[in-house]
A and B are shown apart, each in its own frame.
Chain A
Amino acid sequence: MNKKSLIFLGGLALWTLFPAAGHTSLAATAKDNYRTYCAQCHGLQGNGRGVNIRDMSVQPRNHTDASYMSQRSDEDLAKADRKGGLAIDKSVLMPPWGDTLSPAEIKDMVQYLRTLCHCTFNSQ
């Protein structure tokens, strides 16, 4: 075994021992992602009243509205985030974020939306 591969294996061992350390320092939190990408339409407070909404023909969803948000499953919310409104038969004004957010970030975002509505999926 040469020197390079020893260093590589050592690094790999460290990385498998402490995967979380690298992860949390790199990944943006869902809250930061929301402020950057979603707040422009859904509002700094998540109430659907963002700075962009005045002339929009369909208004952004109020993410603090528990009665609406509890009717949407986590999969529905993730699909809307990743592929945009058109993919779920809703307005094109809701953009797709699949090229901006990683699958892990979208998963975290759905959990963040649940904290905004203080709700979980309730199928009835």
Chain B
Amino acid sequence: MSPNHLLLRLLPGLLAVILALALSPAWAGESAGMALLESRCASCHNISGPAPATIHALWARKAPDLFYAGNKFRRTWLVSWLQHPVRIRPAGEFYADHVKPGPERDMVDESTLAPHMALGAADAKLAADALMTLRAHDDLIAKEHVPAGSISRSMGSLVFDKFLGCMACHRVKPDFGGLSGPELYTAGARLKPAFMASYIRSPQSWDPKIWMPNKHVSDTRIVQLVHYLQALSKGGSHE
């Protein structure tokens, strides 16, 4: 074998080593991020799946599942929320454990809801990057296509409140709507549009036992709803 040929044969291996060295800071970052999730988050959050398959597993869940976080969240939101967490689910998780009968109606028992831990800026970025790699449901996301567009607030709220009755469980302004589901006036900033579309289409595909019903919303309405939720989180008046 000539020296030239030897070089040719070694070239791919050499290239691989150089590539690995160049990428190693990123790899190290990713595994440090995963280590952070394992050590500080996995006691409450499921980061490897699957979702609860029975009602009792659902009741036992301490926090929302994160094993498809990369399909669900916008990274910029994660980085900022993890540093300054605020409540998303007015009645926590599992809602019925944080609700008790009151004189007029069942009320959220605030004393049972603890604030979320906050991370420093560097850890928040590390955690967000690791979360964005958790994408167990690329299959569901691939089925969605939400064209860019807009809808008037009045038409949006007609669809959301009156035609489909989504307000029964979700708040679309800080003080209007139901309490058993996550607040949605911040959804546009928090969630990817394809996730919103897919979740509205079939909540059970994401979380088989969840207490959001499949309302068989049409494609047209799904796009309208996503545009409405995006508009709500852009601020301005919540009329």
Interface residues in chain A, defined as those with a beta carbon under 8 Å from any beta carbon in chain B: 26, 28, 32-33, 35-37, 39-41, 43-45, 49-56, 84, 91-93, 95-100
Q: B95 to A40, Cβ gap below 8 A?
A: yes
Q: Mark B148-173, 1 if CB is under 8 A from A, else 0.
A: 00000000000000111101110000
Complex Cα distance, B106 from A96, in Å, reads 22
- Interface residue? B96 (CB, 8 A): yes
Q: Across the interface, do A43 and B55 meet the contact criterion of CB distance under 8 Å?
A: no
Any chain A CB within 8 A of the CB of B104? yes
Contacts of A26 in B (CB 8 A): 54
Partner of A28, one of B54, B91, B168, B178: B54
CB-based nearest A residue for B102: A49
Question: Which residue on chain B has the smallest CB distance to residue A42?
Answer: B106
Instruction: Verify A36–B180 contact, CB threshold 8 A.
Output: no
- Within 8 Å by CB of B101, from A32, A43, A54, lies A43
Within B131-188, which residues are at the interface with A (CB < 8 Å)? 162-165, 167-169, 176-180
Is B107 part of the contact surface with A, judged by Cβ < 8 Å? yes
B55 with A36: CB separation less than 8 A? yes
Known: A28-B54, A40-B178, A41-B168. A53 touches B213 (CB 8 A): no
Q: Are B168 and A100 in contact, with the CB atoms below 8 A?
A: no
Known A43-B101, A52-B180: A95·B209 in contact at CB below 8 Å: no
| A-facing residues in B213-229 (Cβ within 8 Å) | 213-216
The 7 closest A-B pairs by CB, nearest first: A52-B178, A99-B214, A95-B213, A40-B180, A49-B105, A92-B165, A51-B106
Given the known interface contacts A40-B169, A40-B211, A96-B215, the answer about A51 and B104 at a Cβ–Cβ threshold of 8 Å is no
B5 at the interface (CB under 8 A from A): no
Q: Which of B's residues lie within 8 Å of A, judged by CB?
A: 54-56, 58-59, 91, 95-96, 99-101, 104-108, 162-165, 167-169, 176-180, 202, 204, 209, 211, 213-216
Contacts of A49 in B (CB 8 A): 101, 104-106
Complex CA–CA separation, A39 to B169 (angstroms): 12
* Cα distance A35–B99 in the bound complex, in angstroms: 11
CB within 8 Å for A55 and B176 given contacts A32-B55, A33-B55, A39-B96:
yes
With the chains together, A49 CA to B95 CA distance in Å?
Answer: 15
B38 to chain A, nearest CB (A): 30
**Distance A44 CA – B186 CA, assembled complex (angstroms):** 28
Bound state CA distance, A92 and B91, in angstroms? 23
In the bound complex, CA of A56 to CA of B177 (Å): 8
In contact, B165 and A44 (Cβ under 8 angstroms): no
Q: How far is the CA of A51 from the CA of B94 in the complex (A)?
A: 13
Provide the bound-state CA to CA distance between A70 and B149, in Å: 49
Q: When the two chains form their complex, are residues B168 and A96 in contact, meaning their CB atoms are under 8 A apart? A: no
Scoring B202, B204, B211 by chain A CB atoms within 10 A of each residue's CB, the highest score goes to: B211
List residues of chain A with CB within 8 A of the CB of B106.
39, 43-44, 49-51
CB of B93, distance to nearest CB on chain A (Å): 13
Q: Are B105 and A36 in contact (CB under 8 A)?
A: no
Alpha-carbon distance A35/B107, docked complex (angstroms):
15
Docked Cα-Cα span, A28 to B56, in Å, equals 8
Q: How far is the CA of A99 from the CA of B202 in the complex (A)?
A: 9
Residues of chain B lying within 8 A (CB to CB) of residue A33: 55
Contact A92 B105 (CB under 8 A): no
